[in-house]
Structure 1
Amino acid sequence: MMPPPRILSTPQADATIAMLAGKHGPLMFHQSGGCCDGSAPMCYPAGEFRVGGQDVLLGHVGTAGDVPVWIGAAQFAYWRHTQVTIDVVPGRGAGFSLEGPEGVRFIVRSRVFTDDEADALDRAGEPARGQ
């Protein structure tokens, strides 16, 4: 069995990502953890958020699959058993995420991997980390 993707995005999120990329250029996400809006995925222009060795690459989202999604290592330790989906809903979140002025906010939804999926991910090895 091929390992499942750790990160997905909904068609609505992909449309918002494409709109934001049209305005801001290449993008990236970072999921830091914390509470309230600190647990929301934050969208930045690519390279604006400095990724370090304590960040884990979950994968890529967007229609073209070219927007990296990073998560803090401590948060990944809690979420490694879940598949995360980035979605978008009406409303404004707090913080510096690019979608805020558009009247929407990114959120995450998740599901627990099946035993077979978790085994496939374990066989695939650890995901990449930042530098």
Structure 2
Amino acid sequence: MSDRSCSLLLLALHNCSTLCSGSGASEEDLRVLPKYRFHICKNEEKPRVGAGRMVPIETSSGYLATERILLPEDAECCICLTSYEDGAELHALPCNHHFHSTCIVKWLKMNATCPLCKYNILKGNDQV
């Protein structure tokens, strides 16, 4: 079984186990998360091939985050395991992990914890 298949299987099993727990985030919880647009760095500004910038997008709550630079190895969604494409919409969690917006919104509606470090976005530092 490939690494990608293993990851997807683990994700599916985790999602099934959390569906009945009612521990997901609400639309209001999701609205306050910082949003970004990913831009691949041009030749004159890139530190290395595949690097990019996370440019803030104003959220409906009026929150505007600060711009972030991503190294090539960090420019990937750890949920769907694909590299960020130019123009992709991203969300960042309070733990500073970032994901495709569509991927993390689906995840957080089922389980309000970061898929990488288990930071609970509803309870702050209290982890699962």
TM-score (norm 1): 0.28
Specify the structure having the higher radius of gyration (Cα).
2
- Richer in strand (by share): 1
Q: Which has the higher contact order (CA 8 A, sep 6+)?
A: 1
